[in-house]
Structure 1
Amino acid sequence: MEKDHWEVTAGLAAFLDEAAAHLPAQERRLLQVLKIGEEFGEAAQAVIGATGTSPRKGVSHTWDDVTAEICDVIVTAMVSLHRLGVPDPAAVFAEHLRGAAARTLAARRD
């Protein structure tokens, strides 16, 4: 049976925590959150490359590259919830998603 996304990202988080065990926990958490920013930057760079808006580089990426970079952002954010010590990241995210969707959809109805 295939593991769900949260099980996979829990495994990634455990691996990264073990690899960074020499760092204090606070620093590991901080660096993990900063990693989201790094991945976002790569997604932004891919968009610039896919649209050819850099005069120096021209078209240097595809929309498939953008998709892959966005997936990296999502994975990194999921791993971050684990590494922050959130007891049930899947439940926390599901609840947050419900709230965000409700607020957004409510604004559409107004």
Structure 2
Amino acid sequence: MSDQHAEPAFPGTPDDLWQSVSRLHAWLEADQPYGGQEGLLLRMLKLQEEVGEVAQAVIGATGQNPRKGTTHTWDDVQSELCDVVITALVALRTLTPDAHAVFATHLARVTERSLGSRRG
């Protein structure tokens, strides 16, 4: 007998992803010190902060800072890239409650534009 409320067989499915994005958005909104336009702008700036952390991890993984040496691993870079994706999806959800549909539509356009013209 299967449990209808069990965890998804494959975590990270689209429904699971968007449920997590909605939960994170609600959590951030509940404890936001700045609201309105200022809060929105700060949420967008958070994305730049996360991208900077990717750069820092890449520099650390390659040992490009001679003063610090190798300070990160490629696993750290992967984690930081995931943080960028999560932050971007939460930022999109901040702009629209239809983030899932907006993203799916945009992804389909980019995919068609990029891959649709290729002939095997």
- TM-score with structure 1 setting the length: 0.88
Other-structure match for 1:65: 76
- Within the candidate set 26, 38, 47, 1:14 is matched to 26
What is the root-mean-square deviation in Å for CA atoms of aligned residues? 1.6
* Secondary structure of the structure 2 residue equivalent to 1:58: coil
Identity of aligned residues (%): 52
Other-structure match for 1:26: 37
Say whether the 8 Å CA contact 1:36–1:77 is kept in structure 2: yes
Deviation of 1:98 (Å): 1.0
- Which deviates the most, 96-105 or 73-82? 96-105
Query: CA 1:56 to 1:12, structure 2 compared with 1: closer, same or farther past 3 Å?
Result: same
Unaligned runs of 5+ in 1: none
Cα distance in 2 for residues equivalent to 1:107 and 1:79:
31
- Within the candidate set 97, 103, 112, 1:102 is matched to 112
Q: Which structure: greater helix fraction?
A: 1
Cα distance in 1 for residues equivalent to 2:97 and 2:25:
13
Q: Give the AA of the match of 2:42.
A: L
Say whether the 8 Å CA contact 1:17–1:28 is kept in structure 2: no
Query: CA 1:60 to 1:107, structure 2 compared with 1: closer, same or farther past 3 Å?
Result: farther
Other-structure match for 2:102: 92
- TM-score with structure 2 setting the length: 0.81
Q: Which has the higher contact order (CA 8 A, sep 6+)?
A: 1
- Within the candidate set 70, 73, 77, 2:88 is matched to 77
| Number of residues of Structure 1 aligned to a counterpart in Structure 2 | 107
Unaligned runs of 5+ in 2: 1-5, 8-14
